Structure 1
Amino acid sequence: MHFITCVLALLSSAAIVSAGKVTFWTLDDQTRTVYFTSNENKFPMDPVTVSNVEKTTVDFADDFVGNFVAVPEGELYRDGMLGEVKFGGWGGMTFFDVSAIVVPDDKDNVHQMWPADSQSPMSGCEIFPCDNAYYIWDDVQTKATTEDHLITTLGEGSTGINFA
């Protein structure tokens, strides 16, 4: 009986540790390295290589708050259009946005983010600039969802999804 209790405790803690995920969908032919930065370096994450060969899903720790940027293969790390996320926020919500604050004219990086199941709300746009991204500090463009799985597009192109 003690063994079963230990296994259930481990499974329960694993669910708590990995509570959110982002699937990266590359829309062009560039391979990129996605770099993650958590606030206060509380949840360090290794970079991940993504391409248009397949969508890549990355697990995030519960309560992760931070951002990610995608750097094209062969280029040095540089700032760009960011994906920002907070898993396990107020009321268990996931908060997210595409941030154009640092490099608003970046065309190679994060373009859109949305919840995987409902596909709404969506942050960002296929072509920048647009009025659906985060451009200034404390902008009202941050989105919220009860879902813990987000889709993020990288590079220019179309998903074929009509975000009404």
Structure 2
Amino acid sequence: MQYFKIASLLAAAIASVQATNIVTLKSLDDVDRTVYFTPSAGHAEIAAVQVAAGQSVDVEIPFQWIGNWHGVQKGQANVPGMLGEVTFDGWGGKNYFDVSAIVNPNDKDNVSEMYPAGQPNTPTSGCKNFPCDNAYYVWDDVQTRVTTQSHLICTLHKNGYAKRDADEVSEEKLSRDFVLGKK
């Protein structure tokens, strides 16, 4: 019985060390949206969430979750578009993210930018105004960003509608091989 108690305490300690991953979906315009999550194979499902115009919604993301999400404006069909993509608690214990235009580069009015909550200026992926050179357009683009922070912000807005208060910052971009630990 003593070993069971020790094992339980150890498991609880390990679980408490794992940071809670959060994505804040932040609407910067006057449009209501539903955000749909798509996990990579073998990862947990996350329920779709409603994001009201001008509001923010925090979504808890499971430990080591890999997947993406897309926004759909109220009254529109659920067609994947611009994606927010993440790998939480990935290689080296870091969090990797990007805004991807690979599925539908014409969707310029939903997922816009992503950045760590504690570092609103850098690193940033995505665009205030599409197109830009700060999004993931082809499968091997060097656009993936990395952070140790477990809380990311994903802005949602119509193309060019909203402006963040931060200046653009030059930042390091990582190749896909680096993110996969092949470098």
| TM-score, normalisation: structure 1 | 0.89
Q: What residue identity is the alignment partner of 1:60?
A: I
**Percent of pairs with identical residues:** 45
- Quote the offset at 1:15 in angstroms: 5.9
SS of 2:41's partner is: helix
Look up the match of 1:21.
22
Within 2, Cα distance between the matches of 1:69 and 1:15? 30
1:139 aligns with 2:141: yes
Checking the alignment, whether the CA contact within 8 Å between 1:105 and 1:129 is kept in structure 2 is no
SS at match of 2:96: strand
Q: Is the 8 A contact 1:23 1:56 kept in 2?
A: yes
Contact 1:19 1:87 in 2 (8 A): no
Distance in 2 (alpha carbons) for counterparts of 1:159 and 1:54: 15
For 2:16 and 2:76, the matched residues in 1 are separated by 35
User: What residue is the counterpart of 1:158 in the other structure?
Assistant: 163
Root-mean-square deviation over aligned CA pairs: 2.1
Question: Post-superposition shift, 1:160?
Answer: 2.3
SS of residue paired to 2:77: coil
Cα distance in structure 2, aligned partners of 1:38 and 1:44: 6
Instruction: Output one character per residue of 1:24-69: Cα deviation in whole Å (capped at 9) or x when no partner.
Output: 1111111111100110152101100002342111110010001000
Number of residue pairs matched? 161
- Counterpart of 1:45, as a letter, is I
Q: Whose Rg is larger?
A: 2
CA contact (8 A) 1:25 1:56 kept: yes
Counterpart-to-counterpart distance in 2, 1:133 and 1:153:
14
TM-score, normalisation: structure 2: 0.80
In 2, Cα distance between equivalents of 1:78 and 1:163 = 30
Contact in 2 for aligned 1:86/1:94 (Cα 8 Å): yes
Q: Judge conservation of contact 2:33–2:71 (CA < 8 Å) in 1.
A: yes
Determine if the alignment matches structure 1 residue 68 to structure 2 residue 75.
no
Q: Distance in 1 between matches of 2:34 and 2:17?
A: 27
Check whether the contact 1:19–1:88 (CA below 8 A) recurs between aligned residues. Answer: no
Larger strand percent: 1
Unpaired runs of 5+ residues, structure 1, are none
From 115, 121, 124, the equivalent of 1:122 is 124
CA distance, structure 2, for counterparts of residue 162 and residue 150 of structure 1: 18
> Which residue of the partner structure matches residue 50 of structure 1?
51
